[in-house]
Structure formats: structure tokens, C-alpha cells
Amino acid sequence: MDKISIYEVGTRDGFQSVKEYIPYEVKMEIIDKIVDAGIKHLQITSFVSPKAIPQMKDAQEIAAACRSQYPDLDLLALVPNLRGALTADTFGIDRISFVVSLSESHNKANINRSHEDSKRELDSIRNALPEMDICLDVATAFGCPFEGKKTTSELLEFIGYYVDHGIQMINLCDTIGIANPVQVREVIREIQKTFAGLDLMVHIHDTRNMGMVNTLAAIECGVNKVQSTLGGLGGCPFAPGASGNLATEDLLYMLDEIGCVTGVNLKKLTEASALQCQKIPSGSYSGHLLKVFERQDICYE
């Protein structure tokens, strides 16, 4: 059976989509439930200016608490710049995600940088923190709300620069949920042929109800690291119409059914999703399994 690592990113990607501040205690209660369910990889927060994303104003407190309570957990944080990376390092976070969009228009809308600016910023992080483990999140990898779809050749050329400069893990993000399984397979197979040994991850939005099939297509191509959010909470604020992520509990149900090994307990994870919906009722959720769970007619055995 294939072993698949689920990277729960709702505690960053999902939470940041909620306008009202989620109390620190609520965030930690949800994180505790997620960890109890067996999640081993957790993107806990984003070290970004509170002026840009007020929801992340407690990033340092969240990081300190998680590092103290869960020393063996694989904790990640998203950082937009060197300052964020240095803060992550200060709080013991040694794995970070650095985002750059394949589409320059989206790059400017999302992080207010040109492609060249992003390259320079990443270089500054690598120079200041040479031991930091960096995953490059390639946003709009399958399509952009402003520029449409790029060719696979354009994506390969874009990735090539970062691989040549030492990046060993790339997360392909379907930011607006516009990919299809044929495209996903083509992109991943060409990347695997061109950059042998490059570690790949996928983050697929479910905007058009394609999150599950596109994630499965990636897994069938050999990708064993997948991102999702509890309840499907979230969506990119700089991508019109990108209203939801793939729900972690839905993904886990599918993986369990096809015989993949994850080490995550479906019942406990769905209970965590139910708690999140209760505590954050204003969130935008795209998950399906929770509705079945609420009817209490699902069998977890």
C-alpha cells in the first residue's frame, strides 16, 4: 500500500480566510484535535505583518506553543520575506514555505512583488539561513485568474531557475481550482522527467469540485505529499472565485478506501472538523464528509 503524507494547512490557509479574529485558545483547541487524530505535518501559521493579515497576529504565540507541546511534530510556517523567515527561525520553526506565483500578475497581487523581486528575496533568505528547509510553493501553477493557463514548458522553465539555485521541494498549487486530471498528470510527469529527484507536493483547491480527482491524479503519478485543509476551509483572497480547499477529512476517506497508509484516524479528524465548524461558524467550508458525520450514519470501522 502507498504511504501518503497529509500536510494539514488549514491552521494557516484556512484560518487566514476568516475575517473575524479567531481567539488563540480556539486555534490551539483545533490544533490539539488535529494532532490527536494523527496528523504529523502541520502548517501552523504565517509570519506576515498583522497589517496585511490580522488573523496571523498571534503567529509567534502559536509557534511557541506548538513547538513546546509537540516537539516531534513536523511544523511548517509560510513566510513572505526574510523578516518572516528570521522570526520562524527564532521560534524553532526550521521548515518554511516561500510562495511565488507562476503568473507575474498574481505574484504582484498576492505578495506585491515582481518575479525578480521574489528571486532576490529568496536568495536573501537562503544566504541568511542556509540550514533552513525551504519548500517553494508555486501558486497559479495550473492557471491564473489574470493570465489564464501557462504551458507546461513555461512552468518547467520557471521551476528550473529555483532548482538550479538549490530548491529541492516544490509544492504545485492549483490556486483557483482550474486544473484537470489530464493536465495534472502531464505537468507532474514532465517535471519528473526534467528534474529527477525533485520532491513534489500538491495543493489543489476545490473551487470547481475537482480537488479530489486532481489530487488523486497526482498521487497516481507518484506524488506522496498532499496538502488540504480541515473542512475545506479557506480560499485565496487574491484569486476571485477560489472559494475553497480540498477538505482533509474527505481526502482521508478517499485514501483509506483505496488502501493508502496515512496514520490518521478518520473519526477523530472528522470530529475535529465538526469542532472547527462549531467554533468558527463564519468560515467558508467545502467539505462533504462532515454532512454525513452529522447524520450519524457513517461507519468508521
CA–CA gap between residue 269 and residue 273 (Å, rounded): 6
Residue 301, domain member (yes or no): no
Q: Phi then psi for 115, rounded to 5 degrees?
A: -60, -40
Structural domain boundaries, residue 108: 5-295
Q: How far apart are CA 16 and CA 236, in angstroms?
A: 9
- Does residue 300 lie in a domain region? no
Q: Which residue among the candidates 144, 236, 260, 299 is catalytic per the annotation?
A: 236
290 pLDDT above the threshold of 90: no
Q: Number of folded domains in the chain? A: 1
Single pTM value for the model: 0.94
Q: Reply yes or no on whether 135 is catalytic.
A: no
* pLDDT number for residue 284: 87
Judge whether 198 and 191 are in contact, CB under 8 Å: yes
Q: Report yes or no on 121 lying in a domain.
A: yes
Over residues 20-77, the pLDDT tens digits come to: 999 999 999 999 999 999 999 999 999 999 998 999 999 999 999 999 999 999 999 9
pLDDT digits over 117-158, tens only? 999 999 999 999 999 999 999 999 999 989 999 999 999 999
CATH number at 32 reads: 3.20.20.70
Judged against a pLDDT cut of 60, whether residue 185 lies above it is answered with yes
